[in-house]
Amino acid sequence: MWEQIRANRRRSAMLISLMGVVLVLLGYCGGEAILGGGGGFIGLIVAVVVLLVQLGIYFAGARSLVLGGAGGTELSRDDCPRLFNIVEEMQLASGLPVTPKVLLIQDPSPNAFAFGHKPEDYTIGVTSGLLHRLNRDELQGVIAHETGHLKNQDVQFMTLAAVMLGSIAVLAEIVWRTMRLGGRARSRSDSRGGGQAQLVLLVIALLLAILGPLLAQILYFSCSRKREFLADASAAQFTRYPEGLASALEKISQAAEPPAFTNKANAPMFIVNPLAATAESSSVFSTHPPTGERIRILRAMAGAALADYEVAYRSAHGGGLIGSQSLRAAPAQARRDASDEGPVLGRGEARATVRRNAGYVPVRCTCGLEIGVPPGYERKDVRCVRCGSVWPVPAAQAAVPPVLNATQPMRYTRQRAGWESFRCGCGRSVLLSPTFTASSVRCAGCGRQIEVTPPSAAQN
Amino acid sequence: MIASIGLLILFGLIVIAVVLVVWAIATYNGLVQLRNQLDNAWAQIDVQLKRRYDLIPNLVETVKGYAKHERETFERVTQARNMAVNAKGVGERAEAEGMLTGALKSLFAVAEAYPELKANQNFLGLQEELTSTENKVSFARQFYNDNAMTYNTRIQTFPTLFIAGMFQFTKRDFFEVKAGPEREAPKVSFS
């Protein structure tokens, strides 16, 4: 696996340098051609400035670019222990140095993505639709694919490649425009002496300005597709169960609508390109390989090792994917058996988790509907949208107590006899019903017993 | 003329020596890095195994409250746990772990016969934790074995083996859970 990363890094470094060479050449030749003798250095400076600006733009807005304004909630272990167990299992299987953070996005469309440039920032995002649609094996496959991206350092590389691509495009545009503007001026003032060399440079600059961005794009997208295949191969290796990911991909690609927060800029980040989920073929400008082909390769695997993926890939796609050195280093692996566990979160549970983390207070109506009362709701009661009955809103305690550790005792004095909720020291909200008569309640978050003083006693 | 040839040879020898030393340093560092990764992978297995040992007494206590007549099963689990805790070396450890896994399976099979136990939140939580811990052990084991193989291959192959021999990099055992009694179908008694 380490060989795999090293081989990846070598190939990536070559690719980025290639793009860098194009950028430098374009800057130099463009400068020489437009400004005449010595202009090449000015062109180089322009190229560097363009690159820096692109880098700045990208890193300043990376997070919001990915989420596209959909700000998810970061899950804690208590919210969904099984999801966290899966993430931790995949961390162990991949040997990732840290456990990635988990971001839940309330969206019915199933999809997942990974981002983060440093191990501390590694994050795996999942939509609530994904959690209740996939069973445990499938979800494990998806998390393994995303862990594979993090492990193979795809996020860093694709970012860098995107920045390079953007810089080349911008510089080509600058060269192209100034050439058209400056062309006339040059033809008047230029001396005949260095004409020939100048002409050659001009042709190179023109060619680069036209072909550079195109070539860079083709390179970028072919890399993107290759890395999806590689992450699939890693997922099969980590889970030892290729069928899990295959069937997850099937379910994801069959989803009716892409998540609401997807756009052209963040689409390459997802496990299945949400804007081209059902595409049966890929062009040189596709970010992902066709999902059907990915599924076919996964299902054709004989075992679960990288070598098995390579064999299946060769027969389906032609050409090799994984370097021979990595294949030699990777051990053979048998498949494991399927597990029979269902989804980790029910349909309503994911939604309830998002709301609870946002400070919503749950009120359970007798008709079975759970009403989420948003924070800052002013009225004293709330009407059930299904059956129309009116329920009092639990009075949240005004002051949130400071965070206590699990051993510290806690006491809560009831404000009234109706529904009531308060926050435990661990941050979890605890709900008391009108029929609650016990002297203490157990917090579902940290497990501590919280002493409860009845309202009448408080008035005395 | 002769002096210059001598100088050339001397220069050539120095270059070769420098290249050799640089190669030796790089190889040595590479091996140390691999060995540290391996130690770290082993530590990960250890963490999960310890967690499992900590969970087991809780589980036994919970089940005892509902299924008093399954003394034999409890004893087997407790005994297997103690054996695993006291095991030394990778091989012995792996064997004890295999037995513990088998004992736990029969404990969960016993639990199937007690619907009240199966509805107990505490029990369900413990069951999820134990199942996942077991998954984690197997994933950590897989990672450890991958690394052990890379490491073993590296120190046994030419030319790295010279450096490995010089600095006492020794071969590591794989952590294989033995196929043994744990692979038997658990016996369930409804008496």
| B80 belongs to a structural domain | yes
Co-location of A148 and A287 in the same domain? yes
Residue numbers in B near A333 (CB within 8 A) = 142
Co-location of A391 and A438 in the same domain? yes
Residue numbers in B near A331 (CB within 8 A) = 145-146, 149
Nearest to A82 among B128, B136, B149 (CB): B128
Residue B12 corresponds to which tokens in the numbers above? 């050539």
Nearest to B107 by CA among B48, B189, B191: B189
Cβ(A373)–Cβ(A381) below 8 Å = no
- pLDDT at A247 (0 to 100): 92
Residue A127 has pLDDT above 70, yes or no: yes
| B92 belongs to a structural domain | yes
Co-location of A221 and A291 in the same domain? yes
Co-location of A368 and A319 in the same domain? no
| B29 belongs to a structural domain | yes
Question: How many domains does the structure of chain A reveal?
Answer: 2
Q: Determine the residue of chain A that is closest to B143 in CA distance.
A: A93
Residue numbers in A near B125 (CB within 8 A) = 81
| B106 belongs to a structural domain | yes
Please state, in angstroms and rounded to a whole number, the distance separating the CA atoms of residues B101 and B95: 10
| A222 belongs to a structural domain | yes
C-beta atoms of A95 and B48 within 8 A: no
Co-location of A218 and A361 in the same domain? no
What value of ipTM does the predicted structure carry? 0.74
Does A240 touch chain B if contact means CB atoms closer than 8 Å?
Answer: yes
Co-location of A149 and A57 in the same domain? yes
Compute φ and ψ for A104, nearest 5 degrees. -105, 130
Q: Determine the residue of chain A that is closest to B127 in CA distance.
A: A82
Please state, in angstroms and rounded to a whole number, the distance separating the CA atoms of residues A76 and A91: 16
Co-location of A273 and A413 in the same domain? no
Q: Is A72 helix (H, G, I), strand (E, B) or coil?
A: coil
For residue A306, the number of C-alpha atoms closer than 13 Å in the C-beta half-sphere is 21
- pLDDT at A399 (0 to 100): 40
Task: Judge if the upstream peptide bond of residue A374 is cis by omega within 30 degrees of 0.
Answer: no
Residue A398 has pLDDT above 50, yes or no: no
CA A113 to centroid of chain Cα atoms: 3
Helix H or strand E encompassing A74: strand A73-74
Helix H or strand E encompassing B99: helix B89-111
Co-location of A182 and A289 in the same domain? yes
Please state, in angstroms and rounded to a whole number, the distance separating the CA atoms of residues B155 and B39: 16
Choosing from A300, A328, A344, the residue where a domain stops is A344
CA distance, residue A85 to nearest chain B CA (Å)? 6
Using alpha carbons only, give the angle A369, A373, A374 rounded to the nearest 5 degrees.
140
- pLDDT at A139 (0 to 100): 93
Q: Which domain holds residue B114?
A: 2-183
| B191 belongs to a structural domain | no
- pLDDT at B15 (0 to 100): 95
Please state, in angstroms and rounded to a whole number, the distance separating the CA atoms of residues A210 and A173: 9
CA distance, residue B11 to nearest chain A CA (Å)? 33
Does A6 touch chain B if contact means CB atoms closer than 8 Å?
Answer: no
Choosing from A344, A370, A405, the residue where a domain stops is A344
Q: Which residue has the tokens 């990778």?
A: B90
Q: Which domain holds residue A423?
A: 347-459
Choosing from A312, A344, A376, the residue where a domain stops is A344
| A75 belongs to a structural domain | no
Co-location of A140 and A247 in the same domain? yes
Co-location of A309 and A393 in the same domain? no
- pLDDT at B19 (0 to 100): 94
Residue A40 corresponds to which tokens in the numbers above? 């090449």
Residue A225 has pLDDT above 60, yes or no: yes
| B85 belongs to a structural domain | yes
Does A89 touch chain B if contact means CB atoms closer than 8 Å?
Answer: yes
Q: Give the mean pLDDT of chain A.
A: 78
| A109 belongs to a structural domain | no
Please state, in angstroms and rounded to a whole number, the distance separating the CA atoms of residues A348 and A108: 11
CA distance, residue A332 to nearest chain B CA (Å)? 9
Residue A335 corresponds to which tokens in the numbers above? 């498949």
| A405 belongs to a structural domain | yes
Q: Which residue has the tokens 């191969």?
A: A233
CA distance, residue A145 to nearest chain B CA (Å)? 15
- pLDDT at A397 (0 to 100): 45
C-beta atoms of B139 and A238 within 8 A: yes
C-beta atoms of B136 and A240 within 8 A: no
| B188 belongs to a structural domain | no
C-beta atoms of A82 and B132 within 8 A: yes
Question: Strand locations in A106-224, DSSP E?
Answer: 112-115, 123-127
Helix ranges restricted to H, A276-342: 291-300, 306-317, 324-329
Nearest to A230 by CA among A319, A332, A333, A149: A149
Residue A352 has pLDDT above 80, yes or no: no
Co-location of A308 and A374 in the same domain? no
Nearest to A92 among B37, B44, B153 (CB): B44
Q: What is the pLDDT along chain B (191 residues), one digit of tens a residue?
A: 677 888 999 999 999 999 999 999 999 998 998 899 888 888 888 888 888 888 888 888 888 888 777 788 888 888 888 888 888 777 788 888 888 888 888 888 888 888 888 778 788 888 888 888 888 888 888 888 888 888 888 888 888 888 888 888 888 888 776 544 443 444 444 44
Co-location of A149 and A240 in the same domain? yes
| B190 belongs to a structural domain | no
Which CATH number goes with the domain that contains B125? 1.20.1440.20
Cβ(B136)–Cβ(B89) below 8 Å = no
